């Protein structure tokens, strides 16, 4: 499209640290959708922190007969070997959320570094880094992750590593185009002309201007990482020791939740949890993007 | 011309990276690569048998010559032997590929058509009831795990309504020829294709809507309206036509996502495509099949991109002139 992504952030930048924090908080409750996302995320975060303490049973233990429908003792019934599904989901929240956060953080740190260096350095460094980014973007995302995860072996740490390896390319692209815009600005050229070195320009001008973008990219990356983790776990590549939302669905699919008629309380709740969490991150991420980077909206 | 050469170079690079990745993975893992190439049972063999096997896989040669031989094999379609299925990987994939192409192709077609029409209407009536509903719908559907959406369809149709088949690509004991078979295949296709279409609809819709908004704000659209053209001709003749350009690139970018989505959707519906093969290979730790399926899916995505590059100049005369 014709509009180059030269977004001057100098204004937001010079207003000092206090002013930079307020749009941040405002973004969390700016619209009804953003407020909904914020509340959902707060609840999910609390569940991740305290869910294990609140769980009525240990989800690794057999506590009742298999395939029990919901009752006052077992709110979401029991699975094929008699574990409490409600407790499984409470425990799984921490695993799913941790994988999503860790993978997204690693991916965005790498992606931001690649994007900033490529955008500022230009020349052959830019060309090489962007070729590499395009290669990763062209490879089919999920099959690539499946092969990597199968070789590395199923564990939550490996899942996070695999997801970081396939997710970093998108933030790198976005951050690079932003860094390119900054590098072309008069105040950056002035800093160069006044004798500011590469490191100085990077620290003083580029990193502060790129950070808001990196933050919104991080939040969007969390939602895709949580979805991808669920897909990998569903395909049998989840950690066999740790329960996650995706692995509950894997067992539901492979152990006959449909044949037994247990799907309303075995299949529906974990999917809803994933969807709500991903939606929460997406809504908050969009709101942040709109506040911090108005011109990038609708990308 | 230079544009084409650049694209071809990029695709060649992706292909080389995919092959190098496949070559390096078994060899970079701790332990013997034989475990990944010939199966976990190699631990039960005598040392002499292991040495024989290593030689037959060329593992006794220097790494560089293994690499060159591997690239040649990969290009010729010699992707190893599946010790679980008892046949060459390429043969296993060839049986499955048509089903994946049918599923992905029909979903891509429907999702693109709906996305373009929906995006155009939403942008034309910006802020209207349809626009608001479609936008929130797109955000909502993007948050749903694709495989879970499929599972809900299975639950609704297999357990409750029994209107459409939810398992496989055709009725195993039925007639395999003529119109009844085609109808049977189409009925089996409906639910997986609907799932995949829903999951991939939002990408095209959002880009079309955005491109349309962009075009509708351009001077030539204002001119067209000012000179009294009927609204229908302004929208269809000027706006939609020009908004289609950015969409055409996104459609094929979407393909990588669709192929991944097909993997989980096929698994849910036990649809006999490459995705189900990938799933079975994961469960059986059948590494040659995993790698072969990944390679085949990469090649498919690249071929689709080549196709897009051939179509794009037809839509945009500027590229045709080499500008």
- Give the pLDDT score at B173: 77
- Give the pLDDT score at B321: 57
What is the pTM for the complete model shown? 0.88
| Closest Cα in chain A to B35 | A151
Q: For A219-231, what is each residue's pLDDT tens digit?
A: 989 999 999 999 9
Which of B13, B145, B287 lies nearest to residue A135, judging by beta carbons?
A: B13
List Cβ<8 Å contacts ≥24 apart for A26-33: A26/A291, A27/A284, A27/A287, A27/A288, A27/A290, A27/A291, A27/A292, A28/A284, A28/A287, A30/A287, A30/A290, A30/A291, A31/A287, A33/A283, A33/A286, A33/A287
Q: Does the CB of B25 have a partner CB in chain A at under 8 Å?
A: yes
Average pLDDT over all residues of chain B = 87
Which of B264, B293, B301 lies nearest to residue A235, judging by beta carbons?
A: B264
For residue B319, what pLDDT band results from cuts at 50, 70 and 90? low
| Closest Cα in chain B to A2 | B214
Residue A43 pLDDT > 60: yes
Top pLDDT among B102 and B157 is at B102
B86-125 residues touching A, CB cutoff 8 A: none
Q: Average pLDDT in the A132-141 region?
A: 90
For residues B272 and B266, give the distance between their C-alpha atoms in angstroms, rounded to a whole number: 7
Q: Average pLDDT in the A4-15 region?
A: 38
Q: Domain residues of chain A, as ranges?
A: 23-298
Top pLDDT among B138 and B162 is at B138
Contact at CB, A139 and B257, closer than 8 angstroms: no
Exposure b/e, A260-292, CB count within 10 A at least 16 = b = eebbebbbbbbbebbbbbbbbbbbbbbbbbbbb
- Give the pLDDT score at B320: 62
CATH code linked to domain A23-298: 1.10.3720.10
Residue A14 pLDDT > 70: no
Q: For A203-220, what is each residue's pLDDT tens digit?
A: 888 888 888 889 889 998
List the single best residue of A89, A92, A145, A147 to mutate versus B (max B Cβ within 10 A). A147
For residue A10, what pLDDT band results from cuts at 50, 70 and 90? very low
Contact at CB, B259 and A271, closer than 8 angstroms: no
- Give the pLDDT score at B138: 92
Assigned token pair, B130: 């349809």
Which of B10, B147, B257 lies nearest to residue A234, judging by beta carbons?
A: B147
- Give the pLDDT score at A93: 93
Top pLDDT among B40 and A121 is at A121
CA distance A95 to chain B (A): 17
Residue A34 pLDDT > 80: yes
| Closest Cα in chain A to B291 | A147
CA distance B206 to chain A (A): 8
Top pLDDT among B323 and A111 is at A111
Q: For A224-259, what is each residue's pLDDT tens digit?
A: 999 999 999 999 998 888 889 999 999 988 887 777
CA atoms within 13 A on the CB side of A168: 22
Q: Please state the separation of Cα B63 from the chain's center in Å.
A: 33
Which residue, B294, B295, B253, is CA-closest to A145?
A: B294
Residue B22 pLDDT > 50: yes
Top pLDDT among B2 and A242 is at A242
What is the ipTM, given to two decimal places? 0.90
Contact at CB, A151 and B14, closer than 8 angstroms: no
Q: Does the CB of B298 have a partner CB in chain A at under 8 Å?
A: yes
Eight-state DSSP code of residue A68? P
List the single best residue of B40, B104, B148 to mutate versus A (max A Cβ within 10 A). B148
Is residue B65 helix, strand or coil? Answer: helix
Q: For B27-37, what is each residue's pLDDT tens digit?
A: 888 878 888 88
Q: Please state the separation of Cα A133 from the chain's center in Å.
A: 19
Which residue, A142, A134, A119, A124, is CA-closest to A205?
A: A119
- Give the pLDDT score at A168: 95
Which residue, A215, A290, A219, is CA-closest to A30?
A: A290
- Give the pLDDT score at A41: 94
CA distance A167 to chain B (A): 13
Q: Does the CB of B24 have a partner CB in chain A at under 8 Å?
A: no
């Amino acid at each position: 499209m014709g509009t180059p992504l030269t977004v001057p952030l100098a204004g937001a930048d010079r207003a000092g640290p206090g002013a930079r924090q307020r749009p941040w908080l405002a973004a969390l409750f700016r619209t009804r959708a953003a407020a909904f996302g914020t509340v959902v995320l707060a609840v999910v975060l609390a569940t991740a922190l305290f869910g294990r303490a609140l769980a009525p049973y240990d989800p690794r233990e057999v506590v009742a007969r298999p395939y029990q429908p919901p009752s006052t003792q077992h709110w979401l019934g029991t699975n094929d070997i008699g574990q409490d599904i409600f407790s499984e989901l409470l425990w799984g929240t921490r695993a799913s959320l941790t994988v999503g956060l860790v993978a997204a953080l690693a991916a965005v740190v790498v992606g931001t570094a690649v994007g900033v260096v490529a955008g500022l350095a230009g020349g052959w460094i830019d060309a090489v880094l962007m070729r590499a980014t395009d290669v990763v973007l062209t490879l089919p995302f999920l099959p690539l992750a499946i092969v990597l995860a199968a070789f590395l072996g199923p564990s939550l740490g490996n899942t996070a590593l695999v997801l970081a390896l396939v997710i970093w390319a998108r933030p790198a692209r976005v951050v690079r185009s932003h860094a390119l815009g900054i590098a072309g600005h008069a105040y950056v050229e002035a800093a160069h002309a006044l004798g500011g070195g590469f490191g100085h320009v990077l620290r003083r001008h580029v990193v502060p201007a790129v950070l808001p973008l990196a933050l919104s990219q991080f939040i969007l990356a969390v939602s895709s990482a949580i979805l991808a983790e669920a897909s990998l776990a569903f395909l049998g590549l989840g950690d066999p020791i740790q329960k996650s939302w995706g692995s509950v669905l894997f067992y539901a699919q492979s152990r006959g939740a449909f044949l037994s008629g247990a799907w309303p309380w075995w299949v529906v709740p974990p999917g809803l949890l994933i969807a709500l969490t991903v939606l929460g991150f997406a809504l908050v991420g969009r709101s942040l993007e709109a506040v911090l980077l108005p011109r990038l909206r609708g990308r | 011309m230079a544009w084409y050469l650049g694209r071809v170079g990029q695709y060649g690079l992706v292909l080389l990276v995919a092959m190098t990745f496949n070559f390096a993975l078994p060899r970079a893992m701790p332990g013997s690569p034989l475990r990944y190439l010939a199966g976990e049972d190699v631990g039960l063999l005598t040392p002499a048998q292991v040495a024989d096997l290593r030689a037959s896989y060329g593992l006794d040669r220097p790494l560089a010559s293994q690499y060159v031989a591997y690239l040649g094999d990969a290009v010729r379609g010699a992707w190893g032997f599946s010790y679980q299925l008892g046949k060459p990987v390429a043969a296993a994939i060839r049986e499955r590929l048509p089903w994946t192409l049918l599923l992905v192709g029909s979903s891509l077609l429907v999702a693109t058509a709906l996305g373009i029409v929906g995006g155009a209407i939403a942008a034309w009536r910006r802020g209207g009831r349809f626009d608001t509903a479609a936008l929130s719908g797109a955000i909502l559907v993007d948050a749903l795990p694709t495989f879970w959406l499929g599972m809900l369809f299975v639950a609704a149709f297999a357990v409750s309504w029994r209107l459409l088949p939810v398992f496989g690509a055709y009725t195993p004991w039925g007639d395999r020829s003529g119109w009844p078979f085609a109808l049977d295949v189409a009925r089996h296709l409906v639910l997986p294709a609907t799932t995949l279409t829903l999951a991939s609809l939002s990408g095209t819709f959002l880009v079309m809507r955005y491109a349309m908004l962009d075009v509708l704000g351009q001077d030539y659209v204002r001119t067209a309206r000012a000179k009294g053209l009927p609204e229908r001709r302004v929208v269809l003749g000027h706006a939609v036509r020009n908004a289609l350009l950015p969409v055409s690139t996104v459609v094929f970018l979407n393909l990588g996502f669709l192929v991944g989505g097909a993997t989980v959707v096929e698994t849910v519906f036990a649809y006999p495509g490459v995705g189900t093969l990938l799933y079975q290979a994961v469960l059986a730790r059948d590494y040659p099949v995993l790698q072969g399926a990944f390679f085949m899916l990469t090649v498919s995505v690249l071929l689709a991109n080549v196709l897009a590059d051939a179509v794009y100049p037809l839509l945009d005369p500027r590229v045709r002139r080499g500008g």
